[in-house]
Every structure is written in structure tokens, then in C-alpha cells.
Amino acid sequence: MKSNTSRPFHASNSTSQDSSGENEDCCQSNGYSEEEMNHTIAICVVNVFLCLTALFGNSTIIIAIWKTSSLHSPANMLLTSLAVSDFAVGLISHPLFIATLVRQMYDISTSSRALWVAFNIVSTFLSGASFLTVTAIGIDRLLALQLHLRYVAVVTPFRVRWLIIFIWVISGVSSSIGVRSLVLYYQVAAPVLVTLLVVNFVVYFRIYHIVRRHQVQIQQRERQQDANNGNIFSMNRFKKTAMNTFLVYILLLFCYTPQSFVAVALFKTSWRLSSKVAITTGTIVLLNSSLNPLLYCWRVREIRTAIKQYFCC
């Protein structure tokens, strides 16, 4: 989950300084070719746009949930925590990434390396919070299906608040480990990431199994349609919320998978990462924070209605 863009850049810059006479096609003293320069500038422009969409989209979600009392549920508290981490990506991670790329193009110095370190720390912290929150949302949906009426008594706002605090503290501790030792960070992060992936798979498989079983029971009682209207409506609504959570998880996997493969290749093989691959995979990770609010507005009718009511007023 941590960005490794600083490593290839430093390697390529030291090479260009040792053999500056051999790089005739480089337009900068840092070893950037014209093609690399154009690619980096394009990535900066994309990140400026994503920064704005992440800030606007997630702030809209947070305000809509905060201003609408009917949305103050434990599930939406977790959703708000995810929106806060995505908003922080737009507020901190995107500007740091852009500043680091611009600085790296024109100056390889202690300050540019410090920017990479800062970006790595922040991205690790926020990505960890996002991944843990998505896992918690999936478990919450499973509990809602299994506990039924007891769900309200077990999953209380007080307990969810403490869970959110725990998630952010764990993410902060993980990012601090990466500052001290990158190898130690991957030794800790790798089994945690695999565990979270397995937990999410089990959770959603269990949700699918239970929903499928309820569908079979409902189909067997179609003759008692009037008596079961409430149960059918409740099950259909839960199926939709479970699918929304699953789509958030799939979206997160889609954005984080490329950089996960890059991290494994860097530390398990002798492959040297190019600057294009490094900054492109980093941008895909940051893209997740702009796509999540679009998914909420598309799939969650209550949030979409709250946004329309608030901003129209």
C-alpha cells in the first residue's frame, strides 16, 4: 500500500550524474528525457484534476450525511470515515505528489527526497485507514444480516466510534513503522494485507450465501405474497446495500492491485522500476479517492437525495 516512487527516481538520478555525458537526449540535468518530462507533466495535470474532484466529492458526502439526521446510522458513520480519508487524500496526498514530481524534475536534493518521504508516510496512513474501513463496512453488513433485530443493540454508534478511532490509530502506527524501516514495514504489511483480503472474501461469500438462501425461501412462499411483502422489501434493500459495499471493495482492489504487484516485484526480484510505471501506479492509487464519492451518489439513493435537498436549498 505504500508508494515506492522515491526509490527508482533516486536510482535513475544517481546514474545520470555519474554518466551525464552519455545522456545526450536528456533535456534536464536530472536525467529526464523529453518523453519522461511530457509524461510527468501529464500526470501532474491529471492529479490536479483528481485533487479537485476528491475534495469536492468527499466534502459533499460528508456534509450530506452530517446535515441529514436520518443518515446518522453506524453504517453511515463508517462511510463517513472512508469519505474523510478520501478527502484527506485530496487535501494532502495529491498536493504532495504534485509538488514532489515538479521538484524531482528540476532539482534532486535533500528537499525533494524529504517530499517523497512525506508522501510515502501520508499515503500509507490514509490507504491503511481506507482498507481497514472498507473491511469494517463489509463486516457491518454481515452482522446486519445475521443479527436481524439484535443488530441495533449490538452495533451501537458508541462502539462504531471507538472502532473508527482504533482503525486510524492502527494506520498511524503502520505508517510510523515504514519511516523507521521499509523492510520491516513490508514484513508487517504483507501478512496484514493478505489477512484483510481473506477476511473480505469470507465476509462477502457469507453474505452471498445467506442472501441466496433467503431468496430461495421467498420463492417457495410466493403464494403468500401479501404476508411477505415486508420481508421481501427488507431483503431487497439489504441486497442493494451489500452490493454497494462489495463495489467499494472491488474499486479499492482495482486501484491498489497495480502498485501491489510493483511492490512485490521491487522487493522479490532485481527488476528496476521506471519513473513512468512508478508515478502511473501512484496516480491509480490516488484515483480511488475520487471514484468512491461517485459510487455513493450512483448507488445510495438516500445520500443522493440528501445531496439534492441540501444543495438545492
- Residue 162 — very low, low, confident or very high, per pLDDT cuts 50/70/90? very high
Assess whether pLDDT exceeds 50 at residue 39: yes
Is 282 exposed, middle or buried, given 0-12, 13-18 or 19+ CB atoms closer than 10 A? Answer: buried
Distance CA 293, CA 62 (A): 10
- Which range among 36-40, 43-47, 98-102, 238-242 has the greatest average pLDDT? 43-47
Looking at residue 23, what is its pLDDT?
A: 39
Coil, strand, or helix at residue 33?
A: strand
Tens digits of per-residue pLDDT, 67-90? 888 888 898 999 999 999 999 999
Distance CA 50, CA 56 (A): 10
Average pLDDT, the chain: 77
Q: What angle do CA 220, 246, 164 make, to 5 degrees?
A: 120
Distance CA 5, CA 116 (A): 8
Assess whether pLDDT exceeds 90 at residue 159: yes
Q: What is the mean predicted confidence (pLDDT) over 54-72? A: 91
Q: What is the DSSP string of 201-242?
A: HHHHHHHHHHHHHHHHHHHHTGGGTTTTHHHHHHHHHHHHHH
Tens digits of per-residue pLDDT, 190-224? 677 778 878 888 888 888 788 777 766 666 665 55
Domain boundaries, the chain: 31-312
Q: What are phi and psi of 33, to 5 degrees?
A: -80, 170
Looking at residue 14, what is its pLDDT?
A: 40
Assess whether pLDDT exceeds 60 at residue 57: yes
Looking at residue 300, what is its pLDDT?
A: 83
Decide which of 159 and 310 is more confident. Answer: 159
Coil, strand, or helix at residue 30?
A: coil
Q: Does domain 31-312 have CATH number 1.20.1070.10?
A: yes
Assess whether pLDDT exceeds 60 at residue 231: no
- Residue 238 — very low, low, confident or very high, per pLDDT cuts 50/70/90? low
pTM recorded for the entire structure: 0.79
Looking at residue 282, what is its pLDDT?
A: 83
**Residue 106's Cα: distance from chain center in Å?**
30
Assess whether pLDDT exceeds 60 at residue 20: no
Q: What is the mean predicted confidence (pLDDT) over 251-260? A: 80
Q: What is the mean predicted confidence (pLDDT) over 113-132? A: 84
Q: What is the mean predicted confidence (pLDDT) over 105-129? A: 77
Assess whether pLDDT exceeds 50 at residue 142: yes
Looking at residue 178, what is its pLDDT?
A: 67
